[in-house]
Structure 1
Amino acid sequence: MKKLTSKQSLVLEFIKDYISKNSYAPSVRDVMKHFNFKSPRAAHKHLITLEEKGYIERNNVSRGIKLTSKSGEIFTSEKVVPVVGKIAAGAAIEAIENIIDTVPLSSNYFSKNNEYFALLVEGTSMIEAHIMSGDYVIIKKQDFAKNNDIVVALIDGNYATLKKFRKKDDIIHLIPENKNMNIIKVEPDRLQIQGVMVGLIRMFE
């Protein structure tokens, strides 16, 4: 069976999750809307490719997508998590939300009711929490956090950073795990929580 690209893997994962939640397949427009494609044609091209590679079957009716048996086996034990950019473990960097890769992880570690994404760490502000530059952090997507959670925080809508979250006297403290770096203090209305760290992947050469 031919290997999928990162985007094709995500489209296939979306189809699988959609069928699981709704008991019927997504339409071409559902795929287009989920991935912010500019036209149904772009979504249709991905479906054609998935069919040609043997992962789905399609009928000429609305929502006529079926997963093949091999496609079902692929996702029984794995979930494809998109790597959506880099995150600063240091000074905040401009937010990036382009899918640059995917990582397959065991589905045993995930709740079906939550969304997850991964980020590539840059910087050393979290080294005392054993988060190193070059690691991938796995993030559960949510817009709230508890004190001492490690979060992806978006500051002023433009700059993202990975820090420990703590609220003190109506001020948010984004705390580095590096004694040589300073705490970032921001008002709540300047901050958006994009997710909470739930895992880490480290590659060894």
Structure 2
Amino acid sequence: MLTRKQHKLLLFIDSHLKQTGFSPSFDEMREAMGLRSKSGIHRLISGLEERGFLRRHHHRARALEVIQLPEMEDELPSNVIRGSFTRQKQDSIKIPLYGRIAAGLPIEAMADTSNSLSIPADMLGSGDYYALEVAGDSMIEAGILDGDQVIIKKSDQAENGQIVVALIDNQEVTLKRLRRKGNMIALEPANARYKTRIVPAERLHIQGHLAGLIRHY
């Protein structure tokens, strides 16, 4: 069972992960919960971990993984939410797995569509998706590691701050955070070892934005 505060925090983390591709900072969680100190957030996260709703990846900053979301039940007390601790069999959807994308240096765009990846249906919303395998370490501070498979929602539009697949000059593709600067586009890495790349908007085509991530251990 979860308290209302635990439930609210879990939903906030899940929403932030889906929108940005990485977990919120402790300051962002503290502000969202209306708390004065981070210690309250630490206690809530520990409680969510103990109950099997959240996993914290230690030794990496901003690395939280939502394991499951709770189910609301009307008959429960108003401050309690019951979670389902049994994993149910999920339907899966196959999406194209195009190949490796550079998260360090841009590489030639991959055109191979012969491979596919099975994704739990409830991981995807409406729209078309594809997957790419990450090569490199330039997005590690966003929780994206070498060898991860990123789930991309196809779109030619993106909001400032979203992590996107960008096609440059119709021959290079890279995974970076997008920032608009007038008629220019900044492609920002999430690793201090790499420099931001500035590209004229007319040379860049957005191929989609980050919708999820799969990691094999």
Question: Match for 2:143: what amino acid?
Answer: H
- Contact 1:121–1:136, Cα closer than 8 Å, also in 2: yes
Of 91, 97, 102, which aligns to 2:116?
Answer: 102
Give distance in 1, aligned partners of 2:137 and 2:156: 25
Shift of 1:81: 1.4
TM-score normalised by structure 1 residue count? 0.60
Matches within 5 A, 1:114-153: 114-153=127-166
Q: Give unmatched runs, 5+ long, in structure 2.
A: 1-89
> 2:213 matched to 1:200?
yes
Question: Match for 1:86: what amino acid?
Answer: R
Give distance in 2, aligned partners of 1:128 and 1:158: 26
- Contact 1:128–1:177, Cα closer than 8 Å, also in 2: yes
Shift of 1:129: 0.5
Give distance in 2, aligned partners of 1:78 and 1:120: 19
SS in structure 1 at match of 2:141 = helix
SS in structure 1 at match of 2:111 = coil
Shift of 1:86: 1.1
Q: Give unmatched runs, 5+ long, in structure 1.
A: 1-75
Give distance in 2, aligned partners of 1:100 and 1:182: 34
Shift of 1:198: 0.6
SS in structure 1 at match of 2:202 = helix
Q: Which residue of 2 aligns with 1:21?
A: none
Task: Give the number of aligned pairs.
Answer: 128
> 2:182 matched to 1:169?
yes
Give distance in 2, aligned partners of 1:81 and 1:101: 9
- Contact 1:85–1:100, Cα closer than 8 Å, also in 2: no
Shift of 1:170: 1.9
Shift of 1:161: 0.2
Q: Which residue of 2 aligns with 1:185?
A: 198
Shift of 1:85: 1.4
Q: Which residue of 2 aligns with 1:63?
A: none
Specify which structure has the bigger relative contact order, considering alpha-carbon pairs within 8 angstroms and separated by 6 or more residues: 2
Cα RMSD (Å): 1.2
Give distance in 1, aligned partners of 2:114 and 2:191: 28
Question: Match for 1:163: what amino acid?
Answer: K
TM-score normalised by structure 2 residue count? 0.57
Percent identity of paired positions between Structure 1 and Structure 2: 44
